[in-house]
Amino acid sequence: MARTMKFMSRYVPPEWAEQAALWVGWPHLRDEWGDAFDGAQAEIAGFVAAAARYVPVRVACGSDEAEASARAVLGDIAELVRVPTGDIWLRDTGPIIARVDERPKALTFEFNGWGGTFEMPGDTETAAAIAAAEGLDEIAHDFVLEGGAVELDGDGRLLTTRQCMLNPNRNPGWTQAQAEEALKMVFGVEQVIWLGDGLANDHTDGHVDNIARFTGPGHVICQRASGTNDPNAQTYAEIEADLRAAGLRVSVIASPGLIGEAQPASHMNFAVTNGAVLLPTYESEHSQAALEALAMLFPGREIIARPANHILMGGGSFHCMTREVPRFEAGAGA
């Protein structure tokens, strides 16, 4: 899909484009994590060590304790940056970095704790603080949006879900037409592709990055049910049907299946960076099949499987806790 001049003033690169840095959240609110706190820090440290082989990593530390614990575990493999944070989910609380009128800018949005469900001190300040740390001017928008609620292919297409984007706990009274108009304007896209519901028990109210991801222009992947007890079997079938009906090229990989008491575990919550894709795994026999499928979909990138069970206990995984900084060449076209 060739983007018309009408939309050229705003451009969000796809996540497989060259990255200058990758931000990662670091847990510091122990009460929010309970017994998973230490395990989550260990899993995130493993993720950072793997990602740092491919891209400069900046770790967002929201307190003295966070900085001290991150330094003790990570040493000098990543840059530790003091910015206000509540939870670790930078995908939602951080900025979306775009090229606006040929200059990189930080797009920021209202954040209300995932519809008022989890409101933590610092989260509403994170996006502006990361923008400042990157030396980027901020373009603030006056509606609620989390980065995990949208998925872009860099060629004029955007995926989202009705369950989240039209939820009255975000922007009360928004119609689908109003939401679509706002998304097209803010992200410079031509097509908004709507899916229905997200995963069962997902406290984000159905973020799209847990159910479908682009791997190239017009090419999307989703999951199939793994086992007869997969709690999202019907949802997966509906997602695949909707994506095919939208005219996209669709690839399907294995889901993790039933994890715990129907936790929202997903192989879709991988993180893409320079030369690598980091895949969260959940001690599932289906993870190897997902790894092999991603290797076919991301040729030339190393597929790195890392455990994420403790991170999942906090409500998300690798994609949720990261935010990439695209590398923009001065004056370069999209």
Contact 145, 176 (CB under 8 A): no
Contact 60, 25 (CB under 8 A): yes
pLDDT of 334: 39
pLDDT for 325 beyond 60: yes
Token duo for residue 203: 């406290």
The answer for residues whose C-beta is within 8 angstroms of residue 209's C-beta and 6 or more apart is 91, 148, 149, 151, 268, 269, 319, 320
CA-to-CA separations, 115 to 55, 98, 145, 168, 299, in angstroms, rounded: 33, 25, 10, 8, 38
User: Would you call 320 a catalytic residue per the annotation?
Assistant: yes
Token duo for residue 98: 């775009």
pLDDT tens digits, one per residue of 295-318: 999 999 999 999 999 999 999 999
Instruction: Identify the top-confidence range among 8-17, 116-125, 173-182.
Output: 173-182
pLDDT of 120: 87
User: How many angstroms separate the CA atoms of 85 and 121, rounded?
Assistant: 7
CA-to-CA separations, 171 to 124, 127, 144, 145, in angstroms, rounded: 16, 19, 6, 9
In percent, how much of the chain has pLDDT > 70?
96
pLDDT for 5 beyond 50: no
pLDDT for 2 beyond 60: no
From 61, 164, 222, 320, active-site residue: 320
Handedness of CA 71, 75, 76, 79 (dihedral sign): negative
The helix (H) or strand (E) run that includes residue 109 is: strand 103-110
pLDDT of 31: 87
pLDDT for 279 beyond 50: yes
pLDDT tens digits, one per residue of 198-231: 999 999 999 999 999 999 999 999 999 998 999 9
The answer for residues whose C-beta is within 8 angstroms of residue 261's C-beta and 6 or more apart is none
Q: Give the pLDDT band of residue 331 (cuts 50, 70, 90).
A: very low
Q: Give CB contacts under 8 A, 24+ apart, made by 150-153.
A: 150/183, 150/187, 150/208, 151/208, 151/209, 151/212, 151/213, 151/214, 152/12, 152/14, 152/187, 152/189, 152/214, 153/14, 153/214, 153/216, 153/217, 153/218, 153/219, 153/220
User: How many angstroms separate the CA atoms of 215 and 223, rounded?
Assistant: 14
Q: Give the pLDDT band of residue 26 (cuts 50, 70, 90).
A: very high
Please name the residue that has the structure tokens 């995908």.
91
Task: Give the helix ranges, DSSP H, for the chain.
Answer: 30-33, 37-51, 64-74, 90-93, 113-116, 126-133, 162-165, 176-187, 233-245, 287-297, 309-313
Give the rounded distance of the alpha carbon of 262 from its chain centre: 21
Q: Which of 302, 304, 262 is nearest to 281 (CA)?
A: 304
pLDDT for 106 beyond 50: yes
Residue 96's beta-bridge partner residues?
107
pLDDT of 322: 98
Residue 220's beta-bridge partner residues?
214, 250
Average pLDDT, the chain: 94
Per DSSP bridges, beta strands 151-152 and 271-273 are unpaired
List the domain boundaries for the chain.
Answer: 10-326
pLDDT of 329: 77
Q: Give the pLDDT band of residue 41 (cuts 50, 70, 90).
A: very high
Token duo for residue 276: 């690598």
**Average of pLDDT values for 154-180?**
97
**Average of pLDDT values for 92-117?**
96
**Average of pLDDT values for 8-24?**
93
Q: Give the pLDDT band of residue 330 (cuts 50, 70, 90).
A: low
* CATH architecture under which domain 10-326 falls: 5-stranded Propeller (3.75)
